Amino acid sequence: MTERAAEKSIVVGVDGSDASMAALRWAAGQARALHAVVVAVHAWEPVAAGRAPYAPPAARPTPAEQRVQAAQVLASALRTVFGPRIGDRVRAVVVEGQPARVLLEQARGALLLAIGHRGDAAHGRPVPGPIGRACLRGATVPVVAVPAADVQPGLRAIGAA
């Protein structure tokens, strides 16, 4: 599925990490406050290019297996955050491609793009990874980087007390 987000939507990158799960939770709360739809996006790249050429073919997953695994990662994240009943205000999008490029494309026309980030334990500052940095540089919509920690005093949904 490669359609881009509709206007009243919040796009969130989901890779199954704690940070992306926090971003998905935050995006869900923000979407409720703004009466928007959450578009949960999982981008995947074929892993064959990253395997050693001498690796046995059985060790290389097929593109179809990789697609299924990507869909499972996203489905698992959605079940973890929303439970068994996800509802019609959440759309799941799985796209083959470079993650930053896919997220930027999906976020065109959305209200915002939410991504997770890991914190710098030594200094307490956000440390975006390469995908986060690419999203921050190339986004045409506001980008919110949500920390993996459960307590996020600086991030509050609009209208929340």
**Banded model confidence at residue 161, pLDDT cuts 50, 70, 90:** very low
Q: Tens digit of pLDDT for each residue in 16-61?
A: 999 999 999 999 999 999 999 999 999 999 876 556 667 676 667 8
159 pLDDT higher than 60: no
Residue in this structure with the two tokens 């395997």, named with its chain if needed: 51
- Average pLDDT, integer, range 135-142: 94
Confidence (pLDDT) at 91: 95
8 has pLDDT over 60: yes
Backbone angles phi, psi at 147, to 5 degrees: -75, 155
Q: pLDDT tens digits for 81-135?
A: 999 888 889 999 999 999 999 999 999 999 999 999 876 655 666 667 889 999 9
Q: Is 35 left (phi over 0), alpha (psi -120 to 50) or beta?
A: left
Is the pLDDT reported for residue 80 higher than 80? yes
Residue scoring higher pLDDT (123 or 79): 79
